[in-house]
Structure 1
Amino acid sequence: MASFPESIVRVRQFKAEDEQIVQHLFTVGIGYGVGSTRHHVLRASLTRPNSLIAYFLCAIGLSVGLFSRDASQRLLGAFISAASTLFFVVHRRALSRMMLKHADNRNHSDMHNVYSHYKIASNGPDNFWVAELVNKRETSGRVVGCVGLDTSPIPGDGTAELRRMAVDPTVRGRGIGKLLIQAAIDHAKTHRVTTIWLTTSGHQTVATGLYEKFGWKRLSTRSRLASPNKFADWVDVRLVDFVLTL
C-alpha cells in the first residue's frame, strides 16, 4: 500500500470530468491486478467443485496410466488425465474471459455517461460519488474511489441499487470504501430510499464483510454472472445478493 502522510480522503459528488478515471477504476478493480475481482475469482476457483473434480480425475488417470499392466487401460488413464487437465485450463480461461468482459465499460450502459445515467443534475435519489486523495495544502486531489446509487434497475418507490463500487488498489486500507458507502447511505436516507440492494462477488470476503458491517443481509447466492448463454452455467462464479433496509 502506498503511503500518503500529508493527504486526506474526501468524498464528493461526481463531476463530468471524472468519467475517464472512474471508468479506469472500475476496469482495474474488476479485471486487472492483485486484489481485483478477477484475481479473487481465479484464486477461489482452485478449491471450487469444478477444479476439485478435475484434480480427482487427473489423479485417477495418472494412477491408471502409470500402474496398470494393460496397455488399453494405460491409454485410457492417459486420456482421462489429459482430458481433466484440459477441462481445468479451459475452465480457468473461461473464468478469466468472463471477468474481463464484465470489466469492459463498453458492456455497461451506465458507464457510457455516468453524469446522465445517475441523474447528477436532478438532485434526486440517484447519484454518484468519488473519493479524492487530497494533499492538505491543495484544494483538489486524485480520484481514488467511486460508488453509485441507482434506482433504474429495480422498480418500486424507495428502492435503489448500490453499484460500481471501486477503490484504487494502491490506497486500499485507508477506509475509503467505508466513506463511500456511508455517503451513499446518508444520501439514500435524505431522499427516502428505504431499501438498497447490491450484488458482489462471493469470493471477496473483505468486501462482503464490509457490507455486512453496514447492515446488509445476504439474500441469495448465484452461480454466475447474468448471461443469455445457457452454457455459461458450467463456469463457476459465485455471486451474492445483499439487501439493506434503512
Structure 2
Amino acid sequence: MANIQIRKYQDEDAESVKEIFTLGMSEHVPSSFVHLLKQPLTQMVLMCVFCALMTSSKSFLLPVLAVTFLLAGARQLVVHMFKKYIETSLRKDLDKITETYIQQKDSCFWVAESDGRVVGTVACLPNQDVPECLELKRMSVRHSHRGMGIAKALCQTVADFTRERGYAAVVLYTSVVQTDAQKLYERMGYQRIREFVVPELVAKLTNFTLYEYRLELQQQK
C-alpha cells in the first residue's frame, strides 16, 4: 500500500466520494442483469412470449424481436433500479457526510488517498436494529486501485474504530451480485448470518437478495 493514506473525510472530498460511490454501484448493472435472466420467472415469461408469438404468427422474426425488446426493457429496469438507489443514497447521507457521520456520536467516514487523490471510501455508524453493533457502510475503491489492499485496510479501520468505542461487533449488508465484496468480508473474518429479499416489488420479482454479515470483535486478537 505504498503512498496510500487513510484519513477522516473532509468537506473538499465530497465530489470525489460521490463519484467513487456512483461508479462503484454502476459496475453492478451487468451482473444484476445476468442475475435477473437466471430467475425462473424471467425465463418463463420470455419462453411463454416466444412460444405464443411463434404459434400465433407462424413467423420466427416476430417472437425474436419481441424477446429482444423484452430483454432491452429488462436491462433498462435494472439500470433504473440502480439509478434510484444511487439517488436515494446521495440524498440520504452522501450529500451531507459531515452531518450524518462526522458530527454524530460513534460514527465516522474515512477516505483512502493516493498521491493526493481520493481512491476509496468507508463509513460506519450505530446500527438501529442491533444496538451493540456499528454498521460498516459506503465501502468502495476505485477500479484502478483495487488489488492493493485498500479495501482490507478500510475494513480494518472500521473494526478498530468499533472496538475502541466498546462495541461488540461490526455488521454490514451486501447484495447477491457483489461477489468480490462477499469474498473480501469473509477473508476478513465476517460471518454471513442472514439473507433476505429487498422489500420493493421489483426486487421481490427479481429475487434481489441482500446478505447480512457480522464480525465478532471479541474474537479478534
Coarse TM-score class (shorter-chain normalised):
0.7 to 0.9
Q: Summarize the Cα distance change of 1:89–1:53 in structure 2 as closer, same or farther, 3 Å threshold.
A: farther
1:97 aligns with 2:80: yes
Q: Residue 14 of structure 2 aligns to a residue in which SS?
A: helix
1:193 aligns with 2:176: no
Report percent identity of matched pairs. 26
Contact kept, 8 Å, 1:215 with 1:244, in 2: the verdict is yes
Question: Is the radius of gyration larger for structure 1 or structure 2?
Answer: 1
Write the distance in 2 (CA, Å) between the matches of 1:222 and 1:91: 22
Residue equivalent to 1:20: 15
By how many angstroms is 1:74 displaced? 3.5
Q: Summarize the Cα distance change of 1:81–1:39 in structure 2 as closer, same or farther, 3 Å threshold.
A: closer
By how many angstroms is 1:208 displaced? 0.4
**Deviation per CA, 1:150-198, whole angstroms, max 9, x where unpaired?**
11x5155432211111111111111111110010101100001212221
Q: TM-score, normalised by structure 1?
A: 0.75
**Deviation per CA, 1:66-121, whole angstroms, max 9, x where unpaired?**
xxxxxxx4438878766655543333221110011112266542112101111x25
Residue equivalent to 2:204: 233
Residue equivalent to 1:176: 150
- Structure 2: stretches of 5+ with no match in the other structure: none
- Structure 1: stretches of 5+ with no match in the other structure: 1-5, 66-72, 135-140
Residue equivalent to 1:206: 180
Supply the AA of the counterpart residue of 2:76: R
For residues 1-246 of structure 1, the aligned pairs below 5 Å read 7-31=2-26, 36-57=27-48, 60-61=51-52, 65=54, 73-75=55-57, 85-104=68-87, 107-118=90-101, 120-121=102-103, 124-134=105-115, 141-151=116-126, 153-155=127-129, 157-224=131-198, 226-227=199-200, 230=201, 233-246=204-217
Residue equivalent to 1:69: none
- What's the Cα RMSD here? 2.8
Contact kept, 8 Å, 1:60 with 1:77, in 2: the verdict is no
Q: TM-score, normalised by structure 2?
A: 0.83
Contact kept, 8 Å, 2:196 with 2:211, in 1: the verdict is yes
Contact kept, 8 Å, 2:50 with 2:67, in 1: the verdict is no
Q: Residue 140 of structure 2 aligns to a residue in which SS?
A: strand
Supply the AA of the counterpart residue of 1:176: I
Write the distance in 2 (CA, Å) between the matches of 1:49 and 1:156: 34
By how many angstroms is 1:207 displaced? 0.8
> What is the count of residue pairs matched by the alignment?
216
Contact kept, 8 Å, 2:36 with 2:206, in 1: the verdict is no
Supply the AA of the counterpart residue of 1:245: E
Q: Summarize the Cα distance change of 1:80–1:220 in structure 2 as closer, same or farther, 3 Å threshold.
A: farther
Contact kept, 8 Å, 1:58 with 1:82, in 2: the verdict is no
Contact kept, 8 Å, 1:223 with 1:239, in 2: the verdict is yes
By how many angstroms is 1:210 displaced? 0.6
Contact kept, 8 Å, 2:191 with 2:213, in 1: the verdict is yes
Write the distance in 2 (CA, Å) between the matches of 1:220 and 1:195: 15
Supply the AA of the counterpart residue of 2:210: L
Supply the AA of the counterpart residue of 1:147: V
Q: Residue 38 of structure 2 aligns to a residue in which SS?
A: coil
